Amino acid sequence: MKVDIDGLEVLFPYERMYSEQLQYMRELKRALDAQGHCMLEMPTGTGKTVSLLSLVLAYKHAHPTAGKLIYCTRTVPEMAKCVEEIKKLVQYREQHYGPKAQVTAVCLSSRRNMCVHPRVMAHADGEDVDGQCRKMTASWVRAKATKAREEGEQQQVETCGFYENYDTRKSDDTVLPAGVYSVDDLKEIGAQK
């Protein structure tokens, strides 16, 4: 469904819209137009996520220089639900606008959820994951490993090959093509590269 929000054409991927969703989008658009802040509240299950994403994607389409949306969730399942919603919305927009409706959306989470190093991933506790990661990526550890390599010593310090190889990649190889990427999608890409 197409809806006009104060002169902005918004594609909404469902056949019906609650009046609260319409009001939510109006207030959000006013805040974006004013380049200000807003605090919006709606009850659980009333379509806040799809309303926000529909409005913001329409706004970005109409104002390409507008900033990025950073959407935070408290839990990984909430993030996964948001990813599904944005995938649905992007498909709907592509049906109406074609390839010019492309969007890049990524999920970011803690090391515990995103690390691709097999030894670090073996730890379930977030603090353990952070500690194991720091043991391989801290600047002093990396400097010690570099010095040992330069002096021809057999490297006694383990570093993270994924972390070390990031800087050696070509810049165009690190840019994601348009798409919606879940945590699992990004982990798969990270493990391949």
Q: Which tens digits make up the pLDDT trace of 98-144?
A: 877 678 899 888 888 888 898 888 887 888 888 998 889 999 988 88
**Averaged pLDDT, 78-82:** 90
Secondary structure, 3-state, 51-79: HHHHHHHHHHHHCCCCCCCCCCCCCHHHH
CA distance linking residue 183 with residue 192, whole number of Å: 14
Which residue(s) pair with 181 in the sheet? 106
* pLDDT at residue 76 greater than cutoff 70: yes
Answer yes or no: is pLDDT of 84 > 90: yes
Q: What is the pLDDT of residue 167?
A: 66
How does pLDDT run across 169-185, given as a tens digit for each residue?
A: 665 666 788 889 999 99
Calculate mean pLDDT across residues 11-31: 94
SS3 134: helix
Residue 27 in tokens: 């207030």
Q: End-to-end CA distance of the chain, in Å?
A: 40
pLDDT in tens, 150-169: 888 876 788 888 888 776 66
Report if pTM > 0.75: yes
Torsion angle, alpha carbons of 183, 188, 189, 193, to 10: 140
Q: What are the residue ranges spanned by the domains of the chain?
A: 2-102, 109-193
Residue 69 has pLDDT above 70, yes or no: yes
Distance in angstroms (rounded) separating the CA atoms of residues 38 and 146: 49
Burial 63-80 (b: 16+ CB within 10 A, else e): eeeeeeeeeeeeeeeebe
**Confidence (pLDDT) at 170:** 60
